[in-house]
Amino acid sequence: MSAANEQLIRDIVSEVLGRLGGKPASAKPLASAESAAPAAAACGCGSKGTAVSTPGLRGKFGVFADANEACVAAQESFLQLQQQGVAARVKIVEIVKAMAEANAEPWGKIELDETRIGRLDHKIEKLKIIKLVPGVEWLRPDARSGDHGITLEEYTPFGVVGAVTPSTHSIPTLSGNIVNIIAAGNAAVFNPHPSAARCAAIAIRAFNEAIYREIGIENIATIIEKPSMESFAAMCKHDVVRLLLVTGGPGVVKAAMQTGKRAICAGPGNPPVYVDDTACMKRAAKAIIQGASYDNNLLCIGEKEVFALENIADKLMSQMEQNGGVKLTSIQLEALTKAAFTITPGQGGGCGHAAVNKDFIGKDPSVLARAAGLNIPAGTQLLFAETDADHPFVVEEQMMPFLPITRVKSLEEGVARSLVAEHGYKHTAIIHSHDVEAMTAMGRALDTTLFIKNGPCMAGLGLGGEGYLSFSIATPTGEGVSNPRTFTRVRRCVMVDNLRIY
């Protein structure tokens, strides 16, 4: 055989091995991989700011114009990940967590610049806390040992997971989803929200560049650069996509459930808060302001309406004023309502429908205050006002730094009104009380995925309460706060009559 032919064969073998999961010569072997923090710094995405340029993102390191190509590339990377084993997953999780933290400031800023919703300080914080998302350590197998041998149940990957992310937390959801999905051994394809797609593509590219440099896998998480309903449909339909994860409102949840594929749906919420006369008013007021003002109330778990027992309602509102809240008069409330909703009158004198005005979603309290006709002091966190229980601010998931407060006469009324306001989403509910029976009654009646007592909403995600973080809380489909196990298939391995060692 000629030297040229030998070289050709060597090249082909090397290419095939590379595709099957071998590393290119430039990739570092895992055994010698340094910690992720230096990796993040080395790729130019360290704490000094991202060096990722925006033009020419397409077609490399995870960013694709075509949904089918994004799916195929993710599948190839999934096979490579399988070859490289658990150590590679651990490495990827480390890289993503370290880079989300190191790039929190520039990425928070580009996300805010693109979406124009929320607050910079909280956009940054949401990236810094990606380290609280659980990783590979969550996949400990279950074992049984008995007279008839040993059985092992392992948490194994599906393959490629097709994911949809919201405009409210684009890079944080993407980063947290990557950690969970890849810790479980899968690859991911993202169809992001069109109004938060550019920042998501920047993060995906940076993650893939760093991952490629460390372990030679180029497209473990891919993204469709210009997402659309068509690209969503193509992603869902693609053969390699075995599982869907959608995070968003009612439209995308319905669409995902109609695909015929298994879908994990992190759907909408409208979390009610009930406050009774056994609660500490100062603590309750502080917690309510903290939760409802976070990122200008963009959180799906965020406090959206308060039902306060009538004998403490004034005290609660006074404490809210002392902790960063500004109370609107009924005239100011009327002006804000007119600006924040388009009300379509119901037929035959019915109550009609209120559509949220998108120009006010996630905007600063000063923008809402202007619409209400008042100036507010700098540092105001939240506006609030007394309303009826059927006010649009109570009924709609409004995602603005405004909170309606409704007086109720009893626990029964508070729970009943909370149940109506929550719309059966079974998402999140909050109580401030020291009455265990009231807590139990509300918890049972609301039947929500998160039920928080005496803290702000974020305590339900391990931020001030016990637990772990995810930005995708699977509500209608029941998986709860998603974690690596959510993205696994359970497979059983049985040895009959042997391997039991006593």
Residues found near ligand NAD in the complex (CB under 6 A): 164-168, 192-194, 229, 232, 247-249, 251-252, 255, 266-269, 300, 397, 471-473, 475
Nearest residue (CB) to ligand NAD, 212 versus 232: 232
Q: Under DSSP, is residue 43 helix (H, G, I), strand (E, B) or coil? A: coil
What is the largest distance, in Å, between two alpha-carbon atoms of the chain? 94
Helix axes 411-422, 436-446, angle to 10 degrees: 30
Nearest residue (CB) to ligand NAD, 186 versus 472: 472
Nearest residue (CB) to ligand NAD, 21 versus 166: 166
Nearest residue (CB) to ligand NAD, 126 versus 407: 126
In whole angstroms, give the CA distance from residue 288 to residue 273: 8
The count of C-alpha atoms lying within 13 angstroms of the C-alpha of 361, restricted to the half-sphere facing its C-beta, is 16
Length of the chain: 502
Nearest residue (CB) to ligand NAD, 21 versus 162: 162
Query: What is the per-residue DSSP string for 372-421?
Result: HT----TT--EEEEE--TTSHHHHS---SSEEEEEEESSHHHHHHHHHHH
Least gap, CB of 190 to ligand NAD (angstroms): 9
Whole-number Cα distances in Å, 184 to 137, 214, 478: 10, 19, 19
Rg (CA), the chain: 25
Whole-number Cα distances in Å, 334 to 202, 340, 368, 421: 42, 10, 12, 20
303-318: burial string, b at 16+ Cβ within 10 Å, e else: bbbbbbbeebbebbbe
Question: What is the number of the residue whose Cβ is closest to ligand NAD?
Answer: 248
Nearest residue (CB) to ligand NAD, 84 versus 297: 297
Whole-number Cα distances in Å, 437 to 432, 434, 440, 441: 12, 9, 5, 6
Nearest residue (CB) to ligand NAD, 207 versus 232: 232
Nearest residue (CB) to ligand NAD, 190 versus 307: 190
